Structure 1
């Protein structure tokens, strides 16, 4: 099957499929990996077409079992995600609010429902992530992280200094610096 006719109708800012309302039976496992660096790899071959990645990202969800699936009304295929399925590749500030853009084209405003949380990467480094949709989250890309840290405010929190941003009238932590008591 050729994906060309379908891809021709995909808008880079297009709609996301209602995968949260679809409940097909598990069809099996697909040899598809979303690498920690954002690459999509099928049967050992890296996808090089951004529109194909965008298409697949619109039918991706994470279920309560913690696994990731590509879902259609009739099929559900388990895939492997090394860390988080998306990366934040850009951050823009407008007035007091920040909007983040992922590597697959999602745009999320930092607010109470889309707030940073700190978690460890597979290599053990603590890096912020932000929820995007359907149980999916995006890890901050290194350059975006440094961009945000340059504009961060600091607050004392439980004996540590916490760096973060205020956006959507909500505090978004970027990380903590231990305070030396000596």
Structure 2
């Protein structure tokens, strides 16, 4: 069965986003513990592009399907896992990129390059690291998997922080405050 295209976050209300999140049923990858089978020969680049044997995977629906079985291991590595096999996958930074956001009613929702939706808050915290190219914000997606917040979305966050009067500058979502500075 083909995966439907991701929704357009800009066209959704925050209640619709929350309903889509609540209706999502992620694969139970934490419950699958097959033997390690080797290397998938796949890599996720910092910009969110998925590669297999050095070539970009052009079918977005296939990439979205693979992303549903991605898991972060206790040692910090990443694997593609199903009930029968577990394969390593290289991840250059974070496996996802937050490419869009929407702020409404005291909540900030993010959408990844693969269509995942999350609302920043206790279960999906924002964190900031220092990088050579400036601050690097991340949002928790699921099970230890994060999305690097794209530069354009980071600028939207910064504009929200500037519009507020918090010191240090930051944003609030779902009852939590997130300072826009590295920890």
TM bucket, shorter chain = 0.7 to 0.9
Moved over 6 A (4+): none
Taking structure 1 as the reference length, what is the TM-score of the superposition? Answer: 0.83
Structure 1 unaligned residues grouped into runs of 5+: 1-7, 157-161, 177-182
Distance between the aligned counterparts of 1:154 and 1:137, measured in 2?
A: 28
1:118 equivalent to 2:128? Answer yes
Alpha-carbon deviation of 1:120?
Answer: 4.4
Partner of 2:4: 11
Find the counterpart in structure 2 of residue 129 from structure 1.
Answer: 138
Give 1:147's match in structure 2, choosing from 142, 149, 156. Answer: 156
Normalized per residue, the structure richer in helix is: 2
Name the CA distance, whole Å, in 1 between partners of 2:52 and 2:69.
16
Higher Rg: 1
Q: Of residues 47, 72, 85 in structure 2, which corresponds to 1:75?
A: 85
- RCO (CA 8 Å, sep 6+): is it higher in 1 or 2? 2
1:168 aligns with 2:177: no
Aligned residues: CA RMSD: 1.7
Partner Cα distance (2:92, 2:154) in 1: 20
Gaps of 5+ in 2: 7-23
2:107 maps to 1:97: yes
1:87-122 deviation per Cα after TM superposition (whole angstroms, max 9, x unaligned): 00110012111111011111000111211111245x
For normalisation by structure 2, the TM-score amounts to 0.83
